[in-house]
Amino acid sequence: MAVPISLPTGKVMYLSIYEWLFQLEEKDVDAFYQSCVADDLGTYEENPFAHKAPFGRLEIEDSSPEIEEVKVEEEYE
């Protein structure tokens, strides 16, 4: 899976989530954007976020048994 990154030139480039989260350090983000613009990387896309997952419903099945309240008669020291 890839993250779409919009550049100031209007182009979009895709970077893997692993690279975006774990390999690209925060101090290097500005240099990364500048090098992408300088190298004229990316492609023009009308809607770069069109490749995302379609909207759907999330169904949650509650299969856990109910927890009963138990009164503790011993006091902790």
pLDDT of 74 > 70? The answer is yes
- Torsion angle in degrees (nearest 10) through CA of 14, 15, 17, 21: -140
Least reliable range by pLDDT among 13-17, 32-36, 62-66: 62-66
Predicted model pTM = 0.50
Average pLDDT over residues 36-50: 79
Q: Domain locations in the chain? A: 2-46
What pLDDT score does 48 carry?
A: 59
What is the predicted pLDDT for the residue at 16? 87
Question: pLDDT at residue 34 above 80?
Answer: yes
CA proximity to 39, closest of 11, 58, 17: 11
